[in-house]
Structure 1
Amino acid sequence: MAQVVELTEAASFQVKEMMRHNEEEGAFLRVAVKGGGCSGLTYGMGFEKEHGPEDDVLEQFGLQILVAKEDAPILNGTVVDYKQSLMGGGFTIENPNAIASCGCGTSFRTAKKAGTPENC
Structure 2
Amino acid sequence: MEQPEIQLSDAAAKRVGTIAAKQGKPAILRLSVEGGGCSGFQYKFGLAEDIDDDDTKAENDGVTLVVDAVSLDLVRGCVVDYVESLGGAAFRVENPNAAAGCGCGSSFAV
TM-score range, shorter chain: 0.7 to 0.9
User: Contact 1:27/1:47 (CA < 8 Å) preserved in 2?
Assistant: yes
Note closer, same or farther for the CA distance 1:102–1:84 as it changes in structure 2 (3 Å cut). closer
Write the distance in 2 (CA, Å) between the matches of 1:93 and 1:102.
12
Equivalent residue runs for 1:6-25 within 5 Å:
6-24=7-25
Name the structure 1 match of 2:96. Answer: 96
User: Contact 1:27/1:50 (CA < 8 Å) preserved in 2?
Assistant: no
Note closer, same or farther for the CA distance 1:104–1:87 as it changes in structure 2 (3 Å cut). closer
- The residue matched to 1:93 in structure 2 has which SS? strand
Q: Given residue 101 of structure 2, which amino acid in structure 1 is its aligned partner?
A: S
Equivalent residue runs for 1:4-43 within 5 Å:
4-24=5-25, 26-43=26-43
Write the distance in 2 (CA, Å) between the matches of 1:94 and 1:37.
17
Percent of aligned pairs with the same residue?
Answer: 38
- TM-score normalised to the size of structure 2? 0.85
User: Contact 2:28/2:50 (CA < 8 Å) preserved in 1?
Assistant: yes
Q: Which moved more, 1:77-86 or 1:27-36?
A: 77-86
Q: Give structure 1 regions of 4+ aligned residues with deviation exceeding 4 angstroms.
A: none
Instruction: Please say which structure displays the higher CA radius of gyration.
Output: 1
User: Contact 1:28/1:65 (CA < 8 Å) preserved in 2?
Assistant: yes
Q: Given residue 17 of structure 1, which amino acid in structure 2 is its aligned partner?
A: T
Aligned residue pairs, count: 109
Cα offsets for 1:45-103 (capped at 9, x unmatched):
11121222332233222112221112112111111111223454222221010001223
Q: Which moved more, 1:96-105 or 1:50-59?
A: 50-59
Q: Given residue 7 of structure 1, which amino acid in structure 2 is its aligned partner?
A: L
CA RMSD of aligned residues (A): 1.7
- TM-score normalised to the size of structure 1? 0.79
Write the distance in 2 (CA, Å) between the matches of 1:57 and 1:7.
10
Q: Given residue 104 of structure 2, which amino acid in structure 1 is its aligned partner?
A: C
For structure 1, the 5+ residue unaligned runs are 111-120
Write the distance in 2 (CA, Å) between the matches of 1:34 and 1:48.
17
Note closer, same or farther for the CA distance 1:49–1:7 as it changes in structure 2 (3 Å cut). same
